[in-house]
Every structure is written in structure tokens, then in C-alpha cells.
Amino acid sequence: SSQEDSKAAPQAQMEWDYDGPCMKTAVPGPRSMERLKQLGEIQNVDAINFFCNYEESRGNYLVDVDGNRMLDVYTQISSIPIGYNHPALHKLMADPNNLSTFVNRPALGILPPGNFADKLAESLLSVAPSGMTRVQTMACGSCSNENAYKAMFILIPEIMWYRGCLATTHSKAIHKLDIPSLDWPIAPFPRLQYPLEEFTRDNAAEEARCLEEVEDLIMQWRQKGRPVAGIVVEPIQAEGGDNHASADFFKSLRNIARKHGCAFHVDEVQTGGGCTGKFWAHEHWGSDDPADIVSFSKKLLTGGYYHKTDLQADKGYRIFNTWMGDPSKNLFLVEVLNVIRRENLLEEVTRSGKALLQGLYALQEQYPGLLSRARGQGTFCAIDIRDDPTRSKILLKARDKGVLMGGCGERSIRFRPALIFKEYHVALFLNIFNDVLAEFK
Amino acid sequence: SSQEDSKAAPQAQMEWDYDGPCMKTAVPGPRSMERLKQLGEIQNVDAINFFCNYEESRGNYLVDVDGNRMLDVYTQISSIPIGYNHPALHKLMADPNNLSTFVNRPALGILPPGNFADKLAESLLSVAPSGMTRVQTMACGSCSNENAYKAMFILIPEIMWYRGCLATTHSKAIHKLDIPSLDWPIAPFPRLQYPLEEFTRDNAAEEARCLEEVEDLIMQWRQKGRPVAGIVVEPIQAEGGDNHASADFFKSLRNIARKHGCAFHVDEVQTGGGCTGKFWAHEHWGSDDPADIVSFSKKLLTGGYYHKTDLQADKGYRIFNTWMGDPSKNLFLVEVLNVIRRENLLEEVTRSGKALLQGLYALQEQYPGLLSRARGQGTFCAIDIRDDPTRSKILLKARDKGVLMGGCGERSIRFRPALIFKEYHVALFLNIFNDVLAEFK
């Protein structure tokens, strides 16, 4: 059991990870179907994939309630940083000194624990983006972005963003149906051709077009008497379909923000935590002053945002809610960061990511009518499928063969493995994926 | 230590609670001041009261890093249901079967644990409001209300609420400064005279006035082509200054909602969980059909909302984010509910609440120029102080004597003790409060 494993040496990852998928039923299997019916009496279950046995899940493998063991290349929408039941996290919970942090959740904005600043230093601040020494924790990704927007509004009253919905970070069209939005300008994100290095000229023109539109919008809104407070952008536009842009694009956008007195907010909720091969995706830009605000959640286990000193609220209670995060998640994050450093996981991700992207390029050549636009940074990869119905079929077939992936955008499959996804996991994945694709030739 | 205490019999509350406050320094003491300076390098610390030693805190007593032990009548803004380090919660963490729930936080909307429906049944559904069999968990109070609003918008496109700010539940004026809001109608909440039973006629007139305005607003907005989707109200308007209204008022408001086809959303984020002497404050209305949506957080340890079947989103992903709650909080809630039942804590709250309110009435007679408008339900009590500066001084003096309270509204003090706040804690509190007030006579 995972309990016994927790006593194993933490470096010996191979002792606690499984050695491959193992399928016993179609997915969802009969036990998942029973539970689906049961949960359907309580909630809408249309989005449920299947039910999980988290006790038995380990490393890169998610086990379901029917005993199926799947290689997980999606990891709870990119939110399990070092795999399931990592021994280091179990060890943390075996330490009696940590228990009261779980049992007594404080109102961090008024009565923080004595070690709060130390724990922030050990966890979030030890990986702070360049130029940022301040961080505010929040309970989840939506609250992180929402409060980051508030921090910008405190400076200046309007905001521009790249995605539109009611104070949340989703961009699936269905999230937005019927929900009123604030009247904020939305600028186009570049629509590039892949592989990026083969289309540098066209892509540069597309990026220039988008940058021009950003400046036009800032000007228009200033003329309307509603100056833009900030620009919000993801380093890789994730839910929207894994859209990439060049380091030059982001540095230019950052300069536009600076020139017009707008705050520059980089939303790293999905890209942060190491999956691009650097801890923050914006590090790939090679800028000393990448942003004014960087928001995070998911792999960081706690939500929140870093910010430069001038974006700190000028008074208490301006950025405030009851919990403002959860110190028990900071405890876990300290251990996750230790594991990332000790096991050189960013290097592993870079290696695995290269193997994954090369593999996707090869498959895309092999199946030209089926696959296109393979793209990625680190293991944060995606590929387009010929159409949405085929994508759905591929995702289900792959799952029945023991590989769990996710969709994004109109017809993309996205890969979001844990940081412990190694080259041999890539090979294992590509083999199964190839088998699946062969059926769609 | 709390570890040793956790082995004590859970019923023997008196064995793990302290027997009174014990002050060693002024508050904040020197160690808190050091840490305040340290945290000030990372965050705005204007709202920080002092730094806590959660390991040493027990029951009704919060211990700070300077070793001061205070009777806590505020409990982390009403969010610690059964006191600090309750043995039942420590026992839960000692069970190895529970650990993977803490270590592997799932994306509940797509891959719930096998026991998810069972745990919801044991926890949230076992205390579901009348007429509600469906519940959606969320990570915090803001997300709970925001997603409850979304659920209403899915039915009809406009909403009315009693409090205005950007998709959060705060109403301190400072929360709203500079933050853009949606253009939603805000109706007046009755401003009643206390004690309620002495002003029945005036209060009924005030409530009738407010109800009339609600219907006027609904009509006006319908004429504008923007029909009202829902009415949002707290059973006791909390941050706004602990404003009460009669059961008749709420039942009439609910009828107005029904008549005009609006959803009726009762926000029990602060009032829920037993502090009014019933598990939900709306139970005091004596209605079988109190609401269409009831949102919660704080004492429930997880955020979320109950709703009637017709308010369930019609498709998956319409109400969605990565985590949608945290199953480890549901585990704690199961134990909290067990303790509430086993120790008859709702009856205790009713008893303590009566003693507290009687005590406040007596003090208000004793200090007529200083105190007014004592009011409350269960231990969810408040009293007004002559002016804001005096309130601040009283709060600080009381703290230095070992009693921790909070403010709300323009000049109220609010009482938000844990459910294990007994009659003898009330007596202890009233003694110290009396000593403090005597200095302001």
C-alpha cells in the first residue's frame, strides 16, 4: 500500500511507480457506472470521466475503482506536480508537528501562524519570478486571478485581458453562456503556424498584427475615458487550445504595457510549476522584468499571485477574504519543491518534453490527414486532430488502452503529465498512442 | 501538546480546553511584532492582528506566539466550528486510510474519488436544508457565491442582490473601492430597532417598506428588459453590521421571488453551521421551502452551495473549475458533524446564546451611553458601541485582558465563538467585558 511505500527512500522513484498500464474493464467500468448513477442524484455528472481509487494510484499511474491502471498524461488538469502518493508527501503527514496546520485553518489575513513568513520563504518565495519579492496566497485559481485583477484596478480603473468570462479563468465557450461579463476589451492572441521555427516570417507578421491591435485598443479605451489598467496573458494560451507565441511577442507586449502605464499580468495557473522545463513558462522569454503580476494555482497546490511592490494594496482589507489560502498546502509545496530540486525534475521535463515533441512530429508525418500542429514546450505539448468527433474517439480508445489525456480548444489534445514523467514513459505513451491512431488511418 | 491530547476521550472536552485566558505581554507582543516586520516584506500587513501558535491553541483558546492565551469569541471570522485542535480531528489524521485524501487533491468535476458521493451523504447532505438533495462543493466562500450566481444566471439573465461588489461576498466599503461591479440592483435591507420584540410595529413597517421596494425593483428591471434572475440575502446581514429581520420578512421575500419567477438564494456563509442554535439560520423561519439555493463556507470547512433540482446546470462544464472543493475538508466535516451531534452542540449554543444575549442586555442597561442595540440569535450576537474610535479602543483593551472579538458595520462588535462556547465561557467573557467597559463609563 501507499503507506508502506512512504517508508521507502524518496529518491527511489521506481520503487513506488507502477511499471505500466493494466486494464481490466472498459472505462468507465461497472463500478464507475454505479457511482456515476449515485453521484448523479447529487450533481450534474456530464463531465465526469470515471471514479478513482486514489489510495492505489501511484506516480504516473491513476487507478480507477474498477482496478484499471492508466498512465496519466493529464494529471487532474495539470494539478498533480510529482505524481500520486509521492512518499515525500506521505512522510510529511507522518510528522506530528505538521498536524495542527491541517486541523486549524486560520484566517491568514488577520491571524497568520507564527511560521507563515518562513513557510512562504521556503515555498513560494524560493521560486519567485524575477523581480518579485511579494506574494499573496488564495484558495484556488479563480480567486487568484480575480484578486490579481483587483490589485490592478486599485491602481487604475480598466483592464484588458485575453480571455473573457465572469471573474474566472475558464475559456470553454460553455462556461460563458448566459453569464454576464464586465465590458472589458479582449485582444486577439496570435494564431501561429507550427513548427514555429519553420514559419518564422509568417508568425512574426501575425504577432505584429496582434501587438498593433493591442495598442489600438489601449488608445481607443483611453479616448472613451476608460484607461486600461492591465494586460492579462497566459504564456501559452491553454484552455483556448494551447496557442504559443514567441518570446519576442511577450517582451513586446510587456513593453507596450510599460509604455502605456498598464500593469502586465502573466497568468501561469496552468503553465507554472515546471511543466515547460522551467519553473515558470515566462522564464523562456529571457527577461529580467517579465511581469508586474504572476498568478498561479494547480501544480503549486495553493492559488495566489506574486506581484511587484507598487501593486501591493495600499491598505489592509482591500485584498481580503476569510481564508486567503491554506497553510497546509504551503507545507506540501515545500516538499514538492524539495523533490523537484533533489530529483532534477526540470531537466527531466526538458528531456521528456523533447522526446514527446519529437514523437508527436513523427506521428504527424505518419498520419498527415489525421494529425497536425504538434507543438509544445517541455512536456506542455498538444497536437490537433482532424475534427472534434475523431478527437473524442481517440481519447476514449486511448483510455481503454490505458492512457489518459485531455482535450482543449476546438480539436486539440493536450498533454499535461506530472514532472516525474520520464523518457521511458514517453516511449510507452507513444507506442500506445500509435496503436490507437493506426485504427483511424 | 495537542498530539498527546488527541489520545484523550473525545467526549471529555474539558480535558483539552484551557481553563481561562493567560496574558504575558500586551498584544501584539514582541514576537508578533518581529514577525509582522518579516511578513511586511512580503504582504500588506495592515489587517494582521497578531501571530498565532496553532499547535498550542486548544478549544476556545487561541494562543499567540508570545505565549498569550485568549478566549476566542471570533474564531477566525467564524470559521473554527468545534474549537482549536479538537481531538476528533487529530484522530482522523492518525488514520492511515485518510492520508491519500490529503496527498492527492483531485479535479472533482471530472475524476472524483470512489467514495465521493458517500462522503457527501455523510457530510453535507446529512445537514441539507429542507427540500434540497443536491450540493456542489467549491474551494472557498467567494467561489461558492459566484458559482451559485452562475447557476441562477443559467436560468435567467439578471440578478438582484443585497450586497454589491465584484463577484465576492465582502461588504466592507474598502473592499469595493476602485473595483468595477456589474450593474445589478441592490435593495435595502430592513434597519430594525432592538430588542425586536419591543418594536414589533415599527419593525413590521420597516420590513414592509423594504419588501415593497424589492417588488418595485423587480418590476423596474423587467421593464428595462433585464428581468431579475434571483434574490440573494443573508439570514442575518453579517459584514454589513449584524442586521436582523423577522421570519415573516424572509418568508415574504421568498414569496416575492416565487411570484416573479426569481431564484431565492440564501447566503449562509457566515450564519451556517450551527452558531444561531440551528444548523442553518433559515431554519428559524419555520419554512418547508426556505430557498432555491443555500451557499456555505467557513464553519462547513469547505465552500459550496445546495440547490433545488431545477437549478442544476443542464450541461457538464457549465459550473466548473479545476478543484471544485477539496475532499479532505469533507473528511473533517464528517467528524465535525459527529461531534456536534454527540455533544448536542446546537442545544449548547442555544443555552450559551441566551446567556450571552441576556448578559449584553444587562451591560447595555448598565452602560446606556456606551452600548446599544444588543441583538443576536444563538451565539451569533452583536452590540453597538457609541462610536468607531471607542469600539477600536474596547476591542484592544479586551484583547489585552485576554478576550478576542471582532467588529462589523460602522460601530458594532460581533461575537462569533465556536460551537463549544459554553455558559461558563459566557460568564467568563461577560466578566472581562464588564471590566473593560467600566474604564469607558
The Cα of A197 is separated from the nearest Cα of chain B by a number of Å equal to 33
* pLDDT at residue B160 in the model: 56
- pLDDT band of residue A152 (cuts 50, 70, 90) is confident
Distance CA B331, CA B99 (A): 11
A191-210 per-position pLDDT tens digit: 999 999 999 999 999 999 99
Q: Are B373 and B301 in contact (CB under 8 A)?
A: no
Asked whether residue A432 carries a pLDDT value surpassing 60, the answer given is yes
SS3 B414: strand
Comparing CB atoms, the residue among B53, B139, B332 nearest residue A114 is B53
C-alpha cell at A217: 485598443
Average pLDDT rounded to a whole number, residues B371-377: 98
* pLDDT at residue B168 in the model: 27
Distance CA A377, CA A350 (A): 8
CB contact under 8 A, A320 and B46: no
SS3 B336: helix
Q: A-contacting residues of B 125-164, CB under 8 Å?
A: 125, 133-136, 139-143, 146, 150, 153-154, 157-158
C-alpha cell at A124: 513560494
Backbone torsions φ then ψ of B248, nearest 5 degrees = -60, -40
Distance CA A250, CA A189 (A): 11
Residue B322 has what DSSP assignment? S
Least confident of A81-90, B18-27, B211-220, B352-361: B211-220
Which of B279, B280, B230 lies closest to B254, judged by CA?
Answer: B230
- pLDDT band of residue A239 (cuts 50, 70, 90) is confident
- pLDDT band of residue B346 (cuts 50, 70, 90) is very high
Which of A297, A350, A330, A344 lies closest to A80, judged by CA?
Answer: A297
A284-306 per-position pLDDT tens digit: 999 999 999 999 999 999 999 99
Tell me the chain A residues in contact with residue B116 when contact means C-beta distances shorter than 8 Å: 35, 39, 51
* pLDDT at residue A143 in the model: 86
Average pLDDT rounded to a whole number, residues A71-94: 97
Distance CA A91, CA A10 (A): 9
Q: Are A425 and A417 in contact (CB under 8 A)?
A: yes
Comparing CB atoms, the residue among B55, B140, B158 nearest residue A100 is B55
A95-151 per-position pLDDT tens digit: 999 999 999 999 999 999 999 999 999 999 999 999 999 999 999 888 888 888 888
A316 versus A347: the higher-pLDDT residue is A347
Comparing CB atoms, the residue among B103, B175, B182 nearest residue A317 is B175
B54-83 per-position pLDDT tens digit: 999 999 999 999 999 999 999 999 999 999
Q: Which residue is associated with the grid cell 486548544? A: B58
- pLDDT band of residue B221 (cuts 50, 70, 90) is confident
Write out the H or E segment, with its range, that includes residue B412: strand B412-415
* pLDDT at residue A181 in the model: 56
Tell me the chain A residues in contact with residue B328 when contact means C-beta distances shorter than 8 Å: 102
Q: Are A55 and A2 in contact (CB under 8 A)?
A: yes
Average pLDDT rounded to a whole number, residues B215-229: 87
* pLDDT at residue B167 in the model: 30
Comparing CB atoms, the residue among A51, A97, A133 nearest residue B114 is A51
Q: In angstroms, how far is CA A72 from the centroid of its own chain?
A: 15
Least confident of A53-62, A141-150, A223-232, B153-162: B153-162
* pLDDT at residue A178 in the model: 52
- In percent, the amount of chain A with pLDDT more than 90 equals 77
* pLDDT at residue A154 in the model: 72
B230-267 per-position pLDDT tens digit: 899 999 999 889 999 999 999 999 999 999 998 999 99
A354-394 per-position pLDDT tens digit: 999 999 999 999 999 999 999 999 999 999 999 999 999 99
**A397 contacts: CB under 8 Å, gap ≥ 6:** A436, A439
* Prediction ipTM score: 0.92
What is the residue-averaged pLDDT of chain B? 90
* pLDDT at residue B228 in the model: 84
Asked whether residue A172 carries a pLDDT value surpassing 90, the answer given is no
* pLDDT at residue B153 in the model: 78
Residue A407's alpha-carbon distances to A384, B65, B73, in angstroms, are 9, 49, 49
Distance CA A393, CA A397 (A): 6
Q: Tell me how many residue pairs between chain A and chain B have CB atoms under 8 A apart.
A: 304
CB contact under 8 A, A322 and B77: yes
Q: Are B152 and B263 in contact (CB under 8 A)?
A: yes
- In percent, the amount of chain A with pLDDT more than 70 equals 90
C-alpha cell at B175: 473592499
Which of B198, B203, B195 lies closest to B361, judged by CA?
Answer: B195
CB contact under 8 A, A112 and B77: no
Chain B residue at shortest CA distance from A303: B139
B255 in contact with A at a CB cutoff of 8 Å?
no
CB-count burial class (<10 Å; 0-12, 13-18, 19+) for B14: exposed
| Global pTM value | 0.93
* End-to-end alpha carbon distance in chain B: 41
Cis bond before residue A227 (omega within 30° of 0): no
* pLDDT at residue A167 in the model: 30
The residue length of chain A stands at 441
Comparing CB atoms, the residue among A100, A179, A328 nearest residue B85 is A100
Average pLDDT rounded to a whole number, residues B334-350: 98
Cis bond before residue B195 (omega within 30° of 0): yes
The Cα of B238 is separated from the nearest Cα of chain A by a number of Å equal to 13
Asked whether residue A162 carries a pLDDT value surpassing 90, the answer given is no
Query: What is the amino acid identity at position B317?
Result: Y
Report the sign of the C-alpha dihedral through residues B155, B160, B163, B165, in that order.
positive
- pLDDT band of residue B317 (cuts 50, 70, 90) is confident
B175 in contact with A at a CB cutoff of 8 Å?
yes
Distance CA B147, CA B153 (A): 10
Tell me the chain A residues in contact with residue B137 when contact means C-beta distances shorter than 8 Å: none
B54 in contact with A at a CB cutoff of 8 Å?
yes
The Cα of B429 is separated from the nearest Cα of chain A by a number of Å equal to 21
Q: A-contacting residues of B 297-336, CB under 8 Å?
A: 297-298, 301, 303, 312-323, 328, 332
CB contact under 8 A, A104 and B116: no
